[in-house]
């Protein structure tokens, strides 16, 4: 597994000669939370996972109050820097907002698209205050610090206790400034609006026990996507599906990628 810096963004890279898969993590996660899933994917796939802007060694996006479009533009810069014309794209939670925005804007760059445990966004207008529950994420992190913040919030993300340590590790590493930008992007996002602009079938998956982005989110998203899109609810999984049920998720992704590359 290699580490790269492209367009000011830290990437985890498992080189391969097969299809290229790009993984965008959620708001309290990082590139390494994908490692269980990467290990379950075909060994020849070329897999990239980013530390989102403002996470790890990645430079933040420019606006203090960004939208998903700012993160999608960074992804476009990464793909240009790596000379990748077309990729399979996977977004988890907040990463689904960024992946959906990218696919709506650059449809020709995306083969298979998978939106996992999708955060739908709050459609907050530019300059308006965030809803109290969303602003509370920022306030809690500032008040508690990353370690205590992770101890308080991580357990809600998992259904299987064995996944808790990995989830808590990543959450304890978030940077307050990068996290605050990501929360504001979550507030500004509108994944259902972007879904109406996506022309190809999409895989939507969610854990049956997800209490963070519950199955009704996934159902609403699936209904807004083109005909032929797939909805899969994964048993005995919470929000952290890439860590809790990597083999089941890998099988779904293999089928989705095969449908566009076969």
Residue 76 exposed, middle or buried by CB count within 10 Å (0-12, 13-18, 19+): middle
CATH number at residue 168: 3.40.50.1820
- Strand, coil or helix: 134: helix
pLDDT, tens only, 158-178: 999 999 999 999 999 999 999
**pLDDT recorded at residue 261:** 67
The reply to whether the predicted model has a pTM over 0.95 is: yes
CB atoms within 10 A of CB 3: 12
Q: Residue 8 sits in which domain range?
A: 2-261
| Residue 46, beta-bridge partner list | 20
Ranges assigned E (strand) in the chain: 2-6, 9-14, 20-24, 46-50, 87-92, 110-116, 203-207, 230-234
Number of domains in the chain: 1
**pLDDT recorded at residue 177:** 96
Strand order in the sheet with 110-116: 2-6, 9-14, 46-50, 20-24, 87-92, 110-116, 203-207, 230-234
- Strand, coil or helix: 49: strand
Please list the pLDDT of the chain residue by residue as tens digits (262 residues): 999 999 999 999 999 999 999 999 999 999 999 999 999 999 999 999 999 999 999 999 999 999 999 999 999 999 999 999 999 999 999 999 999 999 999 999 999 999 999 999 999 999 899 999 999 999 999 999 999 999 999 999 999 999 999 999 999 999 999 999 999 999 999 999 999 999 889 999 999 999 999 999 999 999 999 999 999 999 999 999 999 999 999 999 999 999 886 4
**pLDDT recorded at residue 208:** 97
């Amino acid at each position: 597994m290699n580490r790269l810096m492209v367009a000011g963004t830290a990437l985890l890279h498992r080189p391969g000669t097969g299809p290229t898969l790009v993984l965008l993590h959620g708001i309290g996660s990082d590139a390494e939370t994908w490692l269980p899933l990467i290990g379950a994917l075909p060994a020849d796939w070329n897999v990239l996972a980013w530390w989102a802007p403002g996470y790890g060694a990645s430079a933040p996006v420019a606006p203090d109050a960004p939208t998903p479009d700012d993160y999608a533009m960074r992804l476009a810069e990464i793909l240009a820097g790596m000379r990748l014309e077309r990729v399979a794209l996977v977004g988890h939670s907040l990463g689904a907002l960024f992946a959906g925005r990218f696919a709506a804007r650059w449809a020709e760059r995306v083969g298979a698209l998978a939106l996992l445990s999708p955060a739908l966004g709050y459609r907050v207008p530019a300059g308006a205050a965030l809803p109290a529950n969303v602003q509370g994420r920022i306030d809690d992190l500032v008040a508690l610090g990353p370690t205590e913040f992770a101890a308080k919030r991580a357990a809600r993300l998992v259904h299987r206790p064995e996944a808790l340590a990995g989830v808590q590790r990543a959450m304890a590493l978030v940077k307050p400034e990068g996290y605050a930008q990501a929360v504001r992007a979550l507030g500004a996002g509108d994944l259902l609006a972007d879904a109406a602009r996506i022309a190809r079938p999409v895989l939507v998956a969610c854990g049956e026990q997800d209490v963070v982005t519950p199955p009704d989110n996934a159902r609403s998203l699936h209904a807004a996507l083109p005909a032929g899109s797939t909805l899969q609810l994964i048993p005995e999984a919470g929000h952290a599906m890439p860590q809790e049920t990597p083999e089941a998720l890998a099988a779904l992704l293999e089928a989705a990628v095969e449908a566009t590359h076969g």
